[in-house]
Amino acid sequence: MTQLLMPKATAVWLVDNTALSFEQIAAFCSLHPLEVQGIADGDVAGGIMGVNPIQNGQLTREEIEKAEADPNYRMKVSEPKVRVAAAKRKGPRYTPISRRNERPNAIKWLVRNHPELKDAQIMRLVGTTKATIESVRESTHWNAANLTAMDPVTLGLCSQIDLDLEVKRASKGAAPGEELAEGTTLLTAEEALARSNARAEQEGQGEGGYERAAERQDDFDADSVFSKLKSLRSDTDN
């Protein structure tokens, strides 16, 4: 439902310019009927100038006439023709006074369960300061002995969507080396040579590896010897 702008100022205008009952004006402006009666008597909103809801597009003349003809009719706020995007929140989240004492408990929970979160992210989630985060993390907080780790979502300091979003952002900011597989990294020349030598040693240490290597070496030496002998025999025959 569309929210009425400046309800008291609108009520002042409706009291002065229409024949609506106090109950109708109170229902439209979200006020108590006695408060509307106080406006009519001059006891309430004495310094407030009336605002015409027809000019600002929140009420039509037809709606007022319909309500004047039927005391039981309740007027409705007109839908705005242009919707303005809500401004993005900047700076730390506002925390109600009744819940501010719970922020150190929420910080302790975040530091313990999500160490990947940066201080700026914790500040956005629970509306605290960097100094408070450091004192909780280092156990130098004035009430450190009595702090209990509590989920900020359960405490109502932030929503689960906001928490999941910050955790996702923090995980994306992890060091590249932690997310890459071993085969995707480049090796230096020394590392490649050492790995090649180690692989050759492992292959040679297989079942009968050394024996096969020795047999190949012996075969090579025997062949070379026989070839030399044949060459010498041919020379002597000539």
Domain ranges of the chain: 7-69, 97-174
* pLDDT band per the 50, 70, 90 thresholds, residue 109: very high
The predicted pLDDT at position 81 comes to 64
pLDDT digits (tens, 9 = 90+) for 130-159: 899 999 999 898 888 888 888 888 888 888
* pLDDT band per the 50, 70, 90 thresholds, residue 94: low
SS (H, E, C) the chain: CCCCCCHHHHHHHHHHHCCCCHHHHHHHHCCCHHHHHHHHHCCCCCCCCCCCCCCCCCCCHHHHHHHHHCCCCCCCCCCCCCCCCCCCCCCCCCCCHHHHHHHHHHHHHHHHHCCCCCHHHHHHHHCCCHHHHHHHHCCCCCCHHHCCCCCHHHHCCCCHHHHHHHHHHHHHCCCHHHHCCHHHCCCCHHHHHHHHHHHHHHHHCCCCHHHHHHHHHHHHHHHHHHHHHHHHHHHHHC
The predicted pLDDT at position 177 comes to 41
pLDDT digits (tens, 9 = 90+) for 187-220: 455 555 666 666 656 555 444 454 554 555 555 4
The predicted pLDDT at position 196 comes to 62
* pLDDT band per the 50, 70, 90 thresholds, residue 103: confident
pLDDT above 70: percentage of residues in the chain: 62
Model pTM score? 0.38
